[in-house]
Amino acid sequence: MQEDKKAKKTNKKRNRAFMRLAILSLLVLAIGYTIYNSVTADNVEVLRVGDKAPDFTLEDMDGNRHKLSDYQGEGVFLNFWGTWCEPCVKEMPAMDRQYKEYEEQGVHILAVNIAQSDFEVQSFADRFDLSFPIAIDKSRSVMTAYNIRPLPTTVLVNPEGDIQRIITGEMTEQDIKGFMEEIKPQ
Amino acid sequence: MEKMQCKCGHVNPPGTILCESCGRSLTEEEQNKKLADMRYEGTARRSQTYNKSIIDKIWNFFSSVKVGVSIIVLLLIAAAIGTILPQAQYVNVPVRNDETIKAYYADVYGEIGKIYHFLGFHDLYSSAWFIILVGMLAISLIVASLDRFVPLYRSLKNQRVLRHRSFMDKQRIYAEGPAPEDAMLKAEEKLKELKYKVTLDKNGLLAEKGRFSRWGPYVNHIGLIIFLFGVMLRMMPGFYVDETLWIREGETRAIPDAPGYFLESKNFTMETYTGEGDEAKFEEAIDRVGSVAKNYQTDIVLYQTPDESLPGATDDMEQVKEHAIKVNQPLKFDGYAVYQMDFRQNELKAMTFDLTNKETEESLGSFTIDLVNPEKSYDLGDDTRVDLLGYYPDFSGFENGEPQTETPVPNNPGFLVRMFTPETPDGEVSFIVIQNTIEPLGENDYKLTFQTAETRDVSGLTIRKDRTLPILGLGGLIFMIGVAQGMYFNHRRFWIQKQEDGELVLAGHTNKNWFGLKKDLDQVSGFAALPPYVDQQEEIEKQEKLKKEQKLEGDELS
């Protein structure tokens, strides 16, 4: 009788400890998840490294259509820029040099201009004699889909079509070369 | 801690103040009190009783009301400090990223701004420590409620009709004395008439009404928890959208965070009151402040691309509807609402120039540069044309001889042109900004003279979507139900016992509104001729007051 009671008591105690642990850990998990969301939401609301890169289609200055999913199996170096943005201007010539080297190895550059006029973009391309395709996102729908805030922002898409890396701010030629290597198909 | 056995034989959980069965005081402290402590029916708060493992210790920490109140105070202080400097979302920086915002606080507010930013006050609601504090408040609400609700519920569910005399005479409302033979019966009848639930046991009677009012605080807390859950969901992608969209007249733009939807601005209008006719009543105000706004309106067309369409493809857009967005009359679609929030008027859209001979001031013709879509060359006929070499919408100076633009917005447009005329077939280069012309390659014979400009307006729209509103609403509703339950209803109880000598003992208790309880009792007493009752709390207060006065008098005399 006495032992029975004791067993019941320890049982009850164990249950109580288990309940408390369950409630506390559930709440701590909820808080942790909220913080994780709020921290990551700051920079990129929808896109994170490892996500599937949203597909899009844009026409470049020469009238060729570029659809991201057509480049499956190859790397895509997606650069968002504007003529007014100083670091963009600085990194473009370096990008062009690396483009010439890596285009044959299966890494493509697509420079997406944010809603400027054809004239501005064309005269910019002529000035630096840029050879990679440049497209203008007139309605800013690609910019919105990629949730681009600061310029320049570069999104590296690997041969699997996933986002390999998101770079905000200026890149050196060395950086660009390294990034090209990262998304080069094997 | 040990279990506590009462004189009546009942074994109570450790920490109990009043015996669960008969109501006798179990602690010495309690025995010496004149009135019983009826909070939580004298049961032990569960957490106080066990304090062994780490989990128990954490649990006990959050179970404390003091801790809960401290968290609330901390949150209040933090929120107050968060209003001293502007929040990051309202800070105006040309390029928005973490570095520029950090620099803004340091530049504008100095050392204090640096600390403010470092501690996360600039984006308070998203800073980790603030979220942790709110989370701790949620834990405290749940733990403290569970700890109190469970024993209270059990105790009220199992309460006995017969209580010990010492329990009765420590109640605030108390009566004893002789009463007629049928007093118990009549009291029962009257109490039932007053909608009390009456239970009888041997020589005793328990009348109870409005027990559910005791659950008010816990219902209230459930509402708060649901509310906090809704707020938490806002941080999840897809639940909450609050975006700004600046759109110019004539522009078509993708709506942020609303995939597949596009907005075209047809026209922005701002109207003011004229102060005449029907609007004469505004005359005084117009005289005082200059102008009074009547309407801000953006006429838009909403488009949608088919589901299978990709971002960037805008050829297959279909018109969904036309709408005039006015203040408080948003455009609504698919759970989104687009509000008129702001505007900028008179942004340059096109500029017209004349090509003129400097000497004769004779014009060779005029042309218009569309700033949205400038052309490479403007042909004026007769071997006369103007080639556009460069366009700099927001000219900010030269760098290595190259004109720079600060933004893509035509705030200060600059044009680099080459002018061809029959007289100057090789062309003359000129750089034109508003009210200034530079001739970088030597003196020219011709110049561009500015004639007119076309402007357009920019609408500042806000896109909102909030899927958490129903959850927040439900939380708020439950919260209010809990408040009403606890505030507008009272848990009233009477215990009446017939003693062996024929005298009656009566005690009354309520969680609030003692006036209402007494009114009920007055009716019952009158009908059943019960012995007169006293409010012991009032008696105690009266005596204390008397003592104080006597002491004051004594002080004055000496």
- Please indicate, yes or no, if residue A47 is contained in any of the structural domains: no
- Tell me which chain A residue has its CA closest to the CA of residue B94: A150
Residue A71 within any structural domain of the chain: yes
pLDDT along chain B (558 residues), means of 10: 78 84 84 82 69 82 93 96 90 76 90 92 90 93 92 89 89 91 91 94 92 94 94 84 91 90 95 85 85 92 90 87 94 94 93 93 93 93 92 91 90 94 91 88 90 94 93 96 94 93 92 93 92 90 89 77
Do B488 and B516 contact (CB within 8 A), yes or no? no
Domain assignment present for residue A52? The answer is no
Helices B183-193/B514-528 angle, 10° precision: 130
In this predicted structure, what is the pLDDT of residue B238?
78
B54 lies within 8 A of chain A by CB: no
**Inter-helix orientation angle B128-157/B65-81, to 10°:** 150
Instruction: Say which of B262, B371, B391 has its CB closest to residue A139.
Output: B262
Q: Which residues 238-277 in chain B show a CB within 8 A of chain A? A: 252-257, 259, 262
Domain CATH number, residue A147: 3.40.30.10
Closest residue of chain B to A141, computed from CA coordinates: B254
Which positions in chain B touch A114 (Cβ < 8 Å)? 408
Answer yes or no: do A24 and A70 share one domain: no
Asked whether residue A119 falls in the same domain as residue A158, the answer is: yes
Residue A1 shares a structural domain with residue A78: no
Q: What is the number of domains present in chain A? A: 2
Pairing relationship of beta strands B492-498 and B377-381 according to DSSP bridges: unpaired
Does residue A109 sit in the same domain as residue A170? yes
Chain A touched by B289 (CB under 8 Å):
no
Asked if the Cβ–Cβ distance from B128 to A119 is below 8 Å, we say no
Please state, in angstroms and rounded to a whole number, the distance separating the CA atoms of residues B163 and B208: 14
Residues of B in contact with A12 (CB under 8 A): none
Calculate Rg over the CA atoms of chain A.
25
Task: Judge whether B539 and B170 are in contact, CB under 8 Å.
Answer: no
* CA-to-CA dists, residue B46 to A16, B232, B233, angstroms: 11, 29, 32
pLDDT of residue B141: 93
Q: Is residue A26, in this structure, part of any structural domain at all?
A: yes
pLDDT computed for residue A43 by the predictor: 46
In B, minimum Cα distance to A152 occurs at: B95
My answer on whether A105 and A68 are in the same domain is yes
Q: Does a structural domain hold residue A16?
A: yes
pLDDT at A44: 45
- The tokens of B463 are what? 């896109």
Q: Which long-range contacts (CB under 8 A, 24 or more apart) does A124-130 make?
A: A124/A83, A125/A61, A128/A92, A128/A93, A128/A96, A129/A96, A130/A92, A130/A96
- Residue A92 and residue A172 in one domain: yes
* pLDDT of res. B46: 65
Q: Chain B residues with CB inside 8 Å of A144's CB? A: 254-257, 259, 311
Q: Do B305 and B315 form a contact (C-beta atoms < 8 A)?
A: no
Q: Residue A7: pLDDT band by 50, 70, 90 thresholds? A: confident
Q: Which residues pair with B318 in a beta bridge?
A: B304
| Chain B CA closest to residue A32 | B132
Chain B CB contacts of A169 below 8 Å: 97
Q: Which domain holds residue A77?
A: 57-182
Question: At B298, which amino acid appears?
Answer: T
In a domain, A29, yes or no: yes
Residue type (1 letter), B331: L
B393 touches chain A (CB under 8 A): yes
Length, in residues, of chain B: 558
Chain B residues whose beta carbon lies within 8 Å of the beta carbon of residue A35? 128, 131-132
Question: Which residues on chain A are in Cβ contact (under 8 Å) with B58?
Answer: 24
Contact across the interface for B376 and A119, Cβ inside 8 Å = yes
Dihedral of alpha carbons B345, B348, B352, B357, sign: positive
- The whole-angstrom separation of Cα B85 and Cα B113 is 8
- Residue B30 · residue B18 · CB < 8 Å: yes
Q: Which residues of B touch A60 (CB under 8 A)?
A: none
Q: Inspect the interface and report whether the beta carbons of A117 and B374 lie closer than 8 Å.
A: yes
* B370: nearest CA partner in chain A: A117
Looking at chain B, the domain(s) classified CATH 3.30.310.80 span 172-210+490-534
pLDDT for position B1: 54
Q: Residue B477 corresponds to which amino acid?
A: L
Task: Give residue B195's pLDDT.
Answer: 94
| pLDDT computed for residue B12 by the predictor | 84
| Contact (CB, 8 A) for B238 and B467 | yes
Q: How far apart are CA B105 and CA B339, in angstroms?
A: 30
Q: Taking Cα atoms as reference points, which of B153, B148, B172, B170 lies closest to residue B25?
A: B170
**B347 strand-pairing partners:** B456
Given phi > 0 = left and psi -120 to 50 = alpha, else beta, which region is B464?
A: beta
CATH architecture of B172-210+490-534: 2-Layer Sandwich (3.30)
Top pLDDT among B284 and A81 is at A81
Asked if pLDDT for residue A147 goes beyond 50, the answer is yes
Question: Which residue in B has a C-alpha nearest to residue A149's C-alpha?
Answer: B96
Is B34 within 8 Å of B537 (Cβ atoms)?
no
In this structure, are A38 and A62 located in the same domain? no
Residue holding tokens 């040990």? B2
Is the same domain home to A24 and A74? no
Do residues A163 and A61 lie in contact, with contact meaning Cβ atoms separated by under 8 Å?
A: no
Give the integer Cα–Cα distance in Å for B88 and B106.
13
Q: Which residues from B are below 8 Å from A139, CB to CB?
A: 252-254, 262, 312, 314
Distance CA B112, CA B92 (A): 18
Cα(B170)–Cα(B25) distance, integer angstroms: 9
B 456-515 near A (Cβ less than 8 A): none
What would the mean pLDDT of A6-24 be, rounded to a whole number? 81
Contacts of A43 in chain B (CB under 8 A): 98
Nearest chain B Cα distance for residue A105, angstroms: 27
Radius of gyration of chain B (CA): 40
Angle subtended at Cα B425 by Cα B421 and Cα B430, rounded to the nearest 5 degrees:
65
Look at A31 and B126 and tell me if their CB atoms are within 8 Å: no
In chain B, whose CA is at the least distance from the CA of A57? B312
Q: How far is B240 from chain A (nearest CA, A)?
A: 11
- Same-domain pairing of A101 and A177: yes
Closest CA to B386 of B397, B398, B374: B374
- Report helix angle A86-102 to A173-182, nearest 10: 50
User: Same domain, yes or no, for A38 and A61?
Assistant: no
Contact A117 B391 (CB under 8 A): yes
The pair of three-digit structure tokens given for residue B541, joined into one six-digit string = 């207060």
Distance CA B104, CA B88 (A): 9
In a domain, A48, yes or no: no
